[in-house]
A and B are shown apart, each in its own frame.
Chain A
Amino acid sequence: MAIEEQYQIPIVSQVLLISGGESLNMNDRVYKYNSAGTDTTSPIFLFAKKSPDICSLISCSQDLEVGEDMKDRVESCLQMEPNMNTVASRTEMAMQLCETDNLLFHACEKLVHDQHLQQQGWASVVANLEDIVESFKNKAKKVEILFRDILKNKNFYLQLLERFVWLLFLVYLSIFPQL
């Protein structure tokens, strides 16, 4: 539910997976799944079925104009005459540059980390799929065995049933002797 609030994805179309491909049950508690969400090595992945566009979530908070702005300011700084003020203002400029670079750098790191996680998430999806396929195969095998077994003895069963038909008629007869 908290996820719904934060990301506006309705609960029905949420799918939670952990890194082995196991899917989490809605009502289960987290501790039931082995080491899920405890540290950075085993995150819980959230998928939204029928999402309109996930991409739109990412690209909101970008400010592409910052770079240009900085360039102008730096150039203006460089024009200054050599005096105390210039030194002060240049140091300030440097500090600002550094700050923005800090922001940039951390944003980059986050993006790369996100992509790593996306890769992991994908791997878990694939694992989940493979598990489903396995169980499906098993079921199909069982049904096949059952079917073949019945087919093998079909003739025998048909004989039995044909006799049985007469039994039923006789039962009816015995019940309704006047017929």
Chain B
Amino acid sequence: MFGFFFLFTYLFFHSFEDDKDILSKIPILKGLFPMSESYHKLSLLEWILQKDKGNSLDDLYCLEELQQYDQDKLETLLEEVDFSLKSCEKSDMKEIKGLDLRLQTLDKMMHEARKYFDKQNILMKGFSQNHTRLTDCRDMSILPDLCQTHQEQLKTMLANHHYLYDSKYKCLKAKKELSENLTQRLKWIIHIEEQLKQNDDKLVIFGLRLQKLRNKLELIQNLHIAPRIYLESIVEVLRRKAFSESFYKWSQSVSQIAKQMVESETQLRQLFAAQIENHFLKRFFPGMNDYPQNFINDLVLIDQSLPHITSDDIDYLKAELPDYSSQLVVPSTVPIPLVESGDEVSTEKVAGETKPPDTNQDFTMGTSLLAKDITALESTKFDLEKCLDEKNQLIEDLVAKTNSLESLQCKQKETIDHYSQINCRMIELFAFWKEQFGPELRDHISNYSTEMSDNVANLNGIFKAFQQKSEEKIATLTSEVERLKGEDESKRTKFQEFSAKLEKMIEDSKSANEFITCQLSEFRENQMRCVEEAISQAMTQLNQRHVDDCNSLKAKLTEEGEVQMRKLRDELNQVHKNEVDSLRHRFKLAISTTSIERTSSETSLEKVQLDIVDHSALEKDIQKLNTLLKDMKSDYESRISKLQADYESQIASLKTELENEKKFSINDSLKKFLTDNDLNAEQIVQRLPIHETFFAKLSSTLNVTDIDSCDPAQCKEILATVWKEFKDTNRSLDQLNCRSFISIPFSSSVSFH
């Protein structure tokens, strides 16, 4: 068997790439191993097999299984599903047609049955009533009629009974039918659900198998693309590392520059703002409060947890897998513009010391001016240095010039010597010629020689003059140079002195400033302390005053309130007592007289009942009056309690307001309160006469009419009048109430301002 396979592979090996073979070739880099495991040389395939010892790679082979699944199978499955679903949809089985109508008719029938039943009940009650009455009365004369009626009634009862019986039979039948119907449908449902369950099981198994197959196929796919992903990931890691390195370098430099710029700018602006902040010219220059924001915040570093892979690993892999060297090329990172640090940084001319804002403005001004002076001085110093440098240069130029002049002079001297030599020679020549040649020649030569000597003398003169001049120039230049050197030195010394002085001044001003700030803070503290003490003293005084006033007012108010309340209560109680006693007495008399009499006539029960009713009506009326009186009494009592409560609430509100307020006028408050009291008393006093009149009327009516000899009609009249009078009193009371509400705002919000 293996031989056979071997043959196959030999035939087809060279035309396929074998995933497993590839995987077995690819080594895993040291950097990719997690820290816990020790590194040993593994290929990808070995690693996979090692990690998953439970399953073997061969299990993934599912070619046959895959070939099982095709379009036909899917279609048959779907057909089955559709069929079972359709069979569920039978709407005629699901809905019971006509059930609603049937139930409605049943309900109607029940309604009718109930009516009949009620009728039966009534008839039955009638029967029993008649029976009891008959037994009570023992009147035989009514028997024939009664029996007749009974017969008819019995017949109707029987008919009703039959009706009910029929209706019950109908109900039974209906229920039976319904139950049978329902059992049929339930059987159908059971059948359907069993079918569904079978299909469902099938589907579930199918689904599971498909899912497993899908998982296997995914695994195989992953295996297939594993080498590519592995190599690409390695390359990607390296690329990212390179990128993040260059990126962070660039961004860090940019952020530093930005920070420096921002800092320097903000400092300058702060200095300026300190200067102009409290100055009246500020209004000309709006919008001077902007400060530059941070350009780049702290950097967030990414790519920190990548595995440790270097380009050496790439080379190693390239060596191991020459076929894949094309995939193992790390692409170059995108060039990032580098910014030279220090280019843009402005040469900052030292800002002085920034003082904290003081209350004393002069000091700030002084110190800022000092700072300005220092900056100016420093700048002048710089300028001076520049000048010095320039002068030094000039001096050097001059020196060079003098040197050149000297060299010129030397040259001139040489030329002069040369010329003098020539002159001597010429003279010798002339002498020779003189001896040799004739006088003509001599003349000529003497002419020439005189000319020559003249020329020579001229030249000499010129040369001498030139020499003189040059000497003079040299002298002047040297003297100038010396002079300049002296000046420079003097200036330097002066400048040093001046800077020393400045430093001293700055120190002095600093110390003075500190001293002043200390003093100011001390002064402030003292002031605050004094103020606080004063305030606390005042507070305590006021509080004491308040408390005293509160107590006195309280006492007064309570006394007065109590006194008034007592008075009113006593009055009202007395009045009530008197009237109630009198009424009671009178009514007792009336009742006693009426109760003795009894109608002894043999009138019908109805008339008897009417008399009783009359009596009871009278009694009722009397009771009514009693209750009315009681109500009035309770009403008065409630009013009294109300008044009390109002007084108390007023007192409480007064207390609270006194505690809260600092100033009040006692007299005004007292007056107002007393007027309120008076008004209330007035109210009650107003009401009293009304009640008195009512009671008087009542007593008069009762006195006038003699209750002994009264008819029911007369009694009725009396009651009517009494009732009318009562209503009138109530109306008048209500009117009073209305008036009182308008005139007296009986609320507790009395202000004390």
Q: A residues within 8 Å of B by Cβ?
A: 47, 49, 51, 53-55, 58-59, 62, 64, 66-67, 70-71, 74, 77-78, 80, 82-84, 86-88, 90-91, 93-95, 97-98, 100-102, 104-105, 107-109, 111-112, 114-116, 118-119, 121-122, 125-126, 129, 132-133, 136-137, 139-140, 142-144, 146-151, 153-154, 157-158, 160-174, 176, 179
Please, how many angstroms separate the alpha-carbon atoms of A108 and B167 in the complex? 7
Q: State how many residues of chain B have any CB contact under 8 Å with chain A.
A: 106
Partner of B9, one of A94, A119, A140, A170: A170
Please, how many angstroms separate the alpha-carbon atoms of A167 and B178 in the complex? 71
Please, how many angstroms separate the alpha-carbon atoms of A55 and B175 in the complex? 9
Chain B 120-132, CB-CB to A under 8 Å as 1, else 0, gives 1101100110110
Interface residues of B in 122-159 (CB under 8 A from A): 123-124, 127-128, 130-131, 134, 143-144, 146-148, 150-151, 153-155, 157-158
Please, how many angstroms separate the alpha-carbon atoms of A83 and B204 in the complex? 86
Counting CB contacts under 8 A, is B371 at the interface?
no
Q: A161-B62, A167-B19, A167-B20 are in contact. Are A172 and B88 (CB under 8 A)?
A: no
Having A90-B127, A157-B221, A158-B66, one finds 4 other A-B pairs with CB under 8 Å, namely A59-B176, A161-B220, A164-B60, A166-B18
Please tell me if the beta carbons of B110 and A150 are within 8 angstroms of each other in the complex: no
Partner of A58, one of B116, B176, B221: B176
Please, how many angstroms separate the alpha-carbon atoms of A177 and B432 in the complex? 129
Q: A95-B128, A147-B69 are in contact. Are A112 and B171 (CB under 8 A)?
A: yes
Please tell me if the beta carbons of B130 and A91 are within 8 angstroms of each other in the complex: yes
Residues of A contacting B: mostly: helix
| Chain A binder among B195-203, B317-325, B624-632 | B195-203
Which residue among B78, B130, B144, B164 has the maximum number of chain A CB atoms within 10 Å of its CB?
B164
Q: A142-B207, A160-B220 are in contact. Are A78 and B154 (CB under 8 A)?
A: yes
Please, how many angstroms separate the alpha-carbon atoms of A88 and B131 in the complex? 7
Please tell me if the beta carbons of B5 and A172 are within 8 angstroms of each other in the complex: yes
A-B contact pairs, 6 of them (CB 8 A): A78-B151, A97-B161, A102-B117, A122-B185, A136-B81, A146-B214
Please, how many angstroms separate the alpha-carbon atoms of A86 and B564 in the complex? 82
Q: Which residues of B contact A49 (CB under 8 A)?
A: 190
Q: A58-B175, A87-B134, A150-B210 are in contact. Are A164 and B180 (CB under 8 A)?
A: no
Q: Which residues of B contact A161 (CB under 8 A)?
A: 61-63, 66, 220
Pairs A-B, 8 closest by C-beta atoms: A82-B147, A167-B20, A111-B171, A98-B124, A94-B127, A161-B63, A91-B127, A91-B131
Q: Which residues of B contact A176 (CB under 8 A)?
A: 2
User: Smallest CB-CB separation from B204: which chain A residue?
Assistant: A139
Please, how many angstroms separate the alpha-carbon atoms of A179 and B258 in the complex? 73
Please, how many angstroms separate the alpha-carbon atoms of A146 and B207 in the complex? 8
Counting CB contacts under 8 A, is B492 at the interface?
no
Which residue among A74, A90, A100 has the maximum number of chain B CB atoms within 10 Å of its CB?
A90
Q: A77-B154, A104-B168 are in contact. Are A173 and B9 (CB under 8 A)?
A: yes
Please tell me if the beta carbons of B85 and A143 are within 8 angstroms of each other in the complex: no
Q: A109-B110, A160-B221, A167-B21 are in contact. Are A118 and B178 (CB under 8 A)?
A: yes
Q: Report the minimal beta-carbon distance from A134 to chain B, rounded to whole angstroms.
A: 10
Q: A112-B110, A133-B85 are in contact. Are A171 and B176 (CB under 8 A)?
A: no
User: Smallest CB-CB separation from B15: which chain A residue?
Assistant: A166
Q: Report the minimal beta-carbon distance from B196 to chain A, rounded to whole angstroms.
A: 6
Q: A97-B124, A129-B88 are in contact. Are A108 and B217 (CB under 8 A)?
A: no
Please tell me if the beta carbons of B154 and A94 are within 8 angstroms of each other in the complex: yes
Please tell me if the beta carbons of A47 and B69 are within 8 angstroms of each other in the complex: no
Please tell me if the beta carbons of A108 and B110 are within 8 angstroms of each other in the complex: yes
Please, how many angstroms separate the alpha-carbon atoms of A174 and B182 in the complex? 72
Q: A82-B147, A160-B221, A164-B19 are in contact. Are A151 and B61 (CB under 8 A)?
A: no
Please tell me if the beta carbons of B117 and A166 are within 8 angstroms of each other in the complex: no
Q: Report the minimal beta-carbon distance from A92 to chain B, rounded to whole angstroms.
A: 9
Which residue among B24, B183, B186 has the maximum number of chain A CB atoms within 10 Å of its CB?
B186
Partner of B196, one of A87, A136, A168, A173: A136
Q: Which residues of B contact A179 (CB under 8 A)?
A: 2-3, 6
Q: Which residues of A contact B174 (CB under 8 A)?
A: 111, 115
Counting CB contacts under 8 A, is B301 at the interface?
no
User: Smallest CB-CB separation from A126: which chain B residue?
Assistant: B94
Please, how many angstroms separate the alpha-carbon atoms of A143 and B2 in the complex? 40
Which residue among A77, A95, A108, A168 has the maximum number of chain B CB atoms within 10 Å of its CB?
A108
Please tell me if the beta carbons of B164 and A51 are within 8 angstroms of each other in the complex: no
Q: Which residues of A contact B224 (CB under 8 A)?
A: 160, 163
User: Smallest CB-CB separation from B20: which chain A residue?
Assistant: A167
Please, how many angstroms separate the alpha-carbon atoms of A179 and B114 in the complex? 101
Partner of A100, one of B99, B102, B144, B161: B161
Counting CB contacts under 8 A, is B213 at the interface?
yes
Counting CB contacts under 8 A, is B206 at the interface?
yes
Counting CB contacts under 8 A, is B103 at the interface?
yes
Please tell me if the beta carbons of A162 and B161 are within 8 angstroms of each other in the complex: no
Q: Which residues of A contact B345 (CB under 8 A)?
A: none
Please tell me if the beta carbons of A115 and B106 are within 8 angstroms of each other in the complex: yes
Please tell me if the beta carbons of A94 and B123 are within 8 angstroms of each other in the complex: yes
Q: Which residues of A contact B466 (CB under 8 A)?
A: none
Q: A62-B172, A164-B19, A170-B18 are in contact. Are A143 and B210 (CB under 8 A)?
A: yes
Q: A108-B167, A151-B71 are in contact. Are A166 and B9 (CB under 8 A)?
A: yes
Q: A119-B103, A136-B199 are in contact. Are A163 and B16 (CB under 8 A)?
A: yes
Which residue among B8, B94, B148, B185 has the maximum number of chain A CB atoms within 10 Å of its CB?
B94
Q: A70-B158, A171-B57 are in contact. Are A165 and B172 (CB under 8 A)?
A: no
Please tell me if the beta carbons of A139 and B207 are within 8 angstroms of each other in the complex: yes
Please, how many angstroms separate the alpha-carbon atoms of A21 and B121 in the complex? 42
Q: Which residues of B contact A162 (CB under 8 A)?
A: 63
Interface residues of B in 197-245 (CB under 8 A from A): 199-200, 203-204, 206-207, 210-211, 213-214, 217, 220-221, 224
